[in-house]
Amino acid sequence: MNLLNQFQQNWQTYFASLILSGQKILLALSGGIDSTVLAHLLHQSKIEFIAAHVNYQLRGEESNRDEKFVVSLCESLGVPLLIKRIDTKKYMLEKQLSVQVAAREIRYDWFDEIRLNDITLKNAWVATAHHANDSVETSMMHFFRGTGIEGLKGISALHQSKKILRPLLPFFRSQIELYAEDNGISFIVDSSNLTNQYTRNFLRNSIIPELEKVIPSVQENIFQNTQRFSEVTILYKQAVHQQLKKMLEQKGNEWHIPVLKWKKVNPIQTITWEMIEPFGFSATQISEVIKLLDGTNSSFIQSPSHRIIKNRQWMIIAPIAQNESNHIVIVGVGKTLFIEGELTISSHDIADVSNELTKTSLKSKQFNIEWLDAHAIQFPLLLRQWALGDYFYPLGMSKKKKVAKFLIDSRLSKTDKEKIWVLESNKKIIAIIGLRIDNRFRYTAATKQLLKIQYARI
């Protein structure tokens, strides 16, 4: 069976039912051998499509040559063509992205834009020319960089949520090249694919050919493994989901996990990875996160978007964006923005602020300024919403009092109570923000260094 027949059979089995009657698909067309052969296969199979080409303007005249080739190809096939020209280098600098990430972002953002604004392509599927070799290379890259089972399955033939289909995935590059040769299909060659500047090219041009000298069927073997990993992933996800459902408690934008449950989970490395990976943590941070289970209160580890904070018997995964988080770690003096306002902490010698101390004692309620004994306070501090069970020693009292009772006695409304935050040091509340400090942290005649806590409500 030739490639065209195999393609058509595969299309009918996996993709035909996805395309609504009269609906066209959007083909990502670069002009390289893979996407050009896919264009011919779709055309020969009478599958209606509109081509989309991005001129990234990265290779000077070669980029313009690619565009001209794609225009000529689509004219010969009688296929509509959409073209986007963009200064990718400028985009990279503005977004601080690598070439490959920038190009991918540009490409898929544009596809989304087309499907949103073009009535003929509303909610259309995007077809890309990824094939079996691409899936092998992706699986290898994930393996070498460190990944979970999900990464080892390579590329999927379907991405349901993004509406992407990859009808060439069962076929190897050698089959695609043979089809192009047998049918006299011309295409362009991207000179950047011939260099080893990028990891994928290095694997394709150097590592895999060397492996094939020892194991000729290495790519076929890895591709078969990716298919098995795809099925293993289904069972794996079911088991992991059951474990995580027992552990994770969502509270607003945060996730709370009991320390003891996390420590007892088995296998701890695998479950930890699945727990932290959605929040931007890397595989190399797994051991650090596990160590954090026995860490000191308010200790934390962070990813680009989240922090995992040890708070007594709980691990809290919270957004770093402070206006989204209910638990904020303060590592030193400075300003901290949070949902209810701005907290400014500064350090002072008591001798330098004696006049200000007098003024503050008279007007503290107006200015929301409190002074504490710096020697009694240990960083990092934890700024968080108050919780049932919290207690402190209100200023001037030698006995502890539940925060809930203190708020009732302060005659706060239910909505006002919901806006109350506390500041904590080493498991002890040092202040109820804007209301009262803890008596254990007040300054005395023996105090030499002060912490000034100033709260400005938004």
Q: Quote the mean pLDDT of the chain.
A: 91
Give residue 87's pLDDT. 93
Q: Three-class SS string for the chain?
A: CCHHHHHHHHHHHHCHHHCCCCCCEEEECCCCHHHHHHHHHHHHCCCCEEEEEEECCCCCHHHHHHHHHHHHHHHHHCCCEEEEECCHHHHHHHHCCCHHHHHHHHHHHHHHHHHHHCHHHCCCCEECCCCHHHHHHHHHHHHHHCCCHHHHCCCCCEECCCCEECCCCCCCHHHHHHHHHHCCCCCCCCHHHHCCCCHHHHHHHHHHHHHHHHCCCHHHHHHHHHHHHHHHHHHHHHHHHHHHHHHCEEECCEEEEEHHHHHHCCCHHHHHHHHHHHHCCCHHHHHHHHHHCCCCCCCEEECCCEEEEEECCEEEEEECCHHHCCEEEECCCEEEEECCEEEEEEEEEHHHCHHHHHHHHHHHHHHCEEEEEHHHCCCCEEEEECCCCCEECECCCCCCEEHHHHHHHCCCCHHHHHCCEEEEECCEEEEECCCEEEHHHCCCCCCCEEEEEEEEEC
What is the arithmetic mean of pLDDT over 112-117?
Answer: 90
Question: What's the pLDDT at 1?
Answer: 63
Reply yes or no on whether the pLDDT at 22 is more than 90: no
**pLDDT of residue 41 exceeding 70:** yes
Percent of the chain having pLDDT more than 90?
72
pLDDT above 60: residue 365: no
d(Cα 281, Cα 283) in Å, to the nearest integer?
Answer: 7
Measured in whole angstroms, the distance separating CA 74 from the mean position of its chain's CA atoms is 37
pLDDT of residue 21: 81
* pLDDT, position 363: 47
pTM, rounded to two decimals: 0.65
**Partners of 126 in the β-ladder:** 26, 164
pLDDT of residue 148: 72
pLDDT, residue 366, reads 46
pLDDT tens, position by position, 378-414:
999 999 999 999 999 999 999 999 999 999 999 988 8
- Measured from the Cβ of residue 38, the count of other Cβ atoms closer than 10 Å reads 24
Write the pLDDT tens digit of every residue in 200-242.
Answer: 889 988 999 999 999 999 999 999 999 999 999 889 989 999 9
Nearest CA to 431 among 448, 406, 414?
406
Q: Which residues contact 374 (CB under 8 A, 6 or more apart)?
A: 347, 447, 449, 450, 451
Q: Is the pLDDT of residue 144 over 80?
A: yes
429-444 pLDDT, tens digit per residue, is: 999 999 999 999 999 9
Residues in the chain, overall count: 458
**pLDDT confidence tier of residue 344, bands split at 50, 70 and 90:** very high
Range 7-23 average pLDDT: 91
User: What average pLDDT score do residues 254-259 get?
Assistant: 95
In this prediction, residue 375 has a pLDDT band, given cuts at 50, 70 and 90, of very high
Least-confidence region, from 189-198, 308-317, 334-343, 355-364: 355-364
Model confidence over 58-80: pLDDT tens digits?
Answer: 988 999 999 999 999 999 999 99
What local confidence, expressed as pLDDT, does residue 259 receive?
97
Find the angle CA(96)-CA(99)-CA(100) to the nearest 5 degrees.
Answer: 115
Q: Residue 306 — very low, low, confident or very high, per pLDDT cuts 50/70/90?
A: very high
* Euclidean distance between CA atoms 128 and 358, whole angstroms: 71
pLDDT band at residue 360, thresholds of 50, 70 and 90?
A: low
Structure-block tokens of residue 452: 């000034």
Asked if the model's pLDDT at residue 147 lies above 90, the reply is no
**Is pLDDT of 32 > 60?**
yes
The pLDDT-based confidence of 359 (bands split at 50, 70, 90) is low
The residue-averaged pLDDT of 105-122 equals 90
What does the block give as tokens for 257?
């996990």
pLDDT at 362 (0 to 100): 47
Tokens for 209, please give them: 């050919």
